[in-house]
């Protein structure tokens, strides 16, 4: 049996849809249940940011989450497949019509992705004061908590509705299937067989 950690939300549903197409039957979590056993697989429903933890600590052999989460956490996993679902962008956002003032000694940036943000500004030799938040990032520039944000966008609606615009796209991300490094070696045949079957369904 292979255990696969999935992130709550649309990526979990889209990933289970792949399994439904492969094996038939109903691949969906019941009500508030967090474990789903189906066709010789066990699926775990976890927070997106927790998927790499389940996998690196061996509670799941496989996981699915956004490439942004893997980059942010610098997770030591074996990446197997780009599922091409959950497509979004990590962007630098600023209040509409405003640019970051190059004369300011340091730019204040609100984000939940502190490592990606640190690297982005370090690569450009810009001093950044990073304000770590856990959500509603778009609010920060509106109330003077930050000059800019680094956040994930899908439709761009949240930024638009809050008077922000994309200043730069930092990275484009999609959901990846990945494995625990040791389990990958232990169960290589089984894991690669699943990877290959899923790869045939990727559009
Ligand atoms: C993300 C992000 C934005 C929103 C952008 O939050 O932080 O707030 O989605 O989406 P849009 O471009 O389609 O408007 P998410 O819903 O992932 O919730 P979280 O803050 O709990 O991570």
- Using one digit for the tens of pLDDT, what is the confidence trace for 147-178? 999 999 999 999 999 999 999 999 999 999 99
pTM of the entire predicted model: 0.95
CB of 38 closer than 8 Å to CB of 31: no
Do 169 and 91 touch, CB atoms closer than 8 A? yes
Domain 88-173 has CATH 3.40.190.10: yes
Q: What is the mean pLDDT of the chain?
A: 96
Asked if residue 65 has pLDDT above 80, the reply is yes
Is the C-beta atom of 49 inside 6 A of ligand 1? no
Tell me how far the alpha carbon of residue 23 lies from the centroid of ligand 1, in angstroms.
Answer: 32
**Binding site membership of 161 for ligand 1 (Cβ less than 6 Å):** no
Tokens 């690569």 identify what position?
123
Q: Where are the domains of the chain?
A: 2-86+174-199, 88-173
Choose among 32, 27, 30: nearest CA to 15: 27
Which residue among 135, 149, 166, 170 is best mutated to probe the pocket of ligand 1, counting the most ligand atoms within 8 A of its Cβ? 135
Find the mean pLDDT for residues 28-36: 95
Q: Are strands 107-111 and 148-153 parallel, antiparallel or unpaired?
A: parallel
DSSP state of 45: E
**Pair of tokens at residue 200:** 């045939």
Dihedrals phi, psi of 160, to nearest 5 degrees: -60, -50
C-alpha torsion sign, points 70, 71, 77, 78: positive
Q: Are 109 and 128 in contact, with CB atoms under 8 Å apart?
A: yes
Residue 187: its pLDDT value, please?
98
State whether CATH 3.20.20.70 applies to domain 2-86+174-199. Answer: no
Between helix 10-23 and helix 188-199 the angle, nearest 10°, is: 100
* 72-119 pLDDT, tens digit each: 999 999 999 999 999 999 999 999 998 777 778 899 999 999 999 999
Question: Is 88-173 in the same CATH topology as 2-86+174-199?
Answer: yes
| Residue 203 banded pLDDT, cuts 50, 70, 90 | confident
**Cα of 25 to ligand 1 centre, how many Å?**
31
């Amino acid at each position: 049996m292979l255990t696969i950690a999935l992130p709550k939300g649309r990526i979990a549903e889209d990933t289970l849809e792949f399994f439904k197409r492969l094996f038939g039957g109903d691949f969906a979590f019941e009500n508030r249940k967090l474990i789903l056993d189906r066709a010789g697989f066990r699926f775990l429903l976890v927070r997106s940011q927790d998927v790499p933890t389940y996998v690196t600590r061996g509670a799941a052999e496989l996981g699915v989450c956004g490439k942004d989460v893997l980059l942010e956490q610098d997770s030591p996993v074996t990446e197997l497949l780009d599922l091409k679902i959950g497509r979004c962008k990590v962007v630098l956002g600023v209040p509409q019509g405003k640019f970051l003032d190059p004369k300011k000694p340091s730019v204040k940036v609100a984000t939940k992705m502190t490592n990606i943000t640190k690297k982005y500004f370090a690569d450009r030799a810009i001093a950044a004061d990073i304000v770590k938040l856990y959500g509603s990032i778009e609010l920060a520039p509106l109330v003077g908590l930050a000059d800019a944000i680094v956040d994930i966008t899908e439709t761009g609606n949240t930024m638009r509705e809050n008077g922000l615009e994309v200043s730069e796209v930092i990275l484009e991300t999609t959901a990846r299937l990945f494995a625990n490094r040791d389990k990958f070696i232990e169960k290589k045949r089984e894991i690669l067989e699943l990877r290959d079957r899923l790869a045939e369904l990727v559009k």
